[in-house]
Amino acid sequence: MPELIPGPAQIPVPGGKIIEEFVGHASSGDDAVSIAHMLAPAGWEEPAQEPEFDEFTVVLEGSIDVEYDDGVMHVRSGQAIITRAGERIRYTTAEGARYIAVCLPAFHMELVHRDGDDEHDREPVE
């Protein structure tokens, strides 16, 4: 039988970004995949991370910058980016952004490994 998701679960993150998870660990109990709508204000940034999941991001409005060990990718509205599990990355938004993120396996705080969160601490990506 199909399962209706009546609304998203809000996931707290640093810096004023809003994560509205429609499918995933927090919202529907799924561990295989998460699908979330993100709203990041202008000037938002988060600590570097080494997630244990692949993330597929489609930018709907604005742009995001994705820092990685060899540089920065600027992803604009109408574009997408894929980051792979184990890659050290850091997301920021100069102008703000609205985007959809799909994570395989599902996003879970224990799988993100942000700097300052646990034993995976390292210096920020530069």
Each residue of 17-35: pLDDT tens digit? 999 999 999 999 999 999 9
| pLDDT 10s digits, 41-89 | 999 998 999 999 999 999 999 999 999 999 999 999 999 999 999 999 9
pLDDT at 108: 83
Contact 57, 74 (CB under 8 A): no
* Domain map (residue ranges) of the chain: 32-112
User: Cα–Cα distance between 126 and 65 in angstroms, integer?
Assistant: 12
Return the CATH fold of 32-112: Jelly Rolls (2.60.120)
User: Cα–Cα distance between 113 and 117 in angstroms, integer?
Assistant: 6
Q: Is the peptide bond before 47 cis (omega within 30 degrees of 0)?
A: no
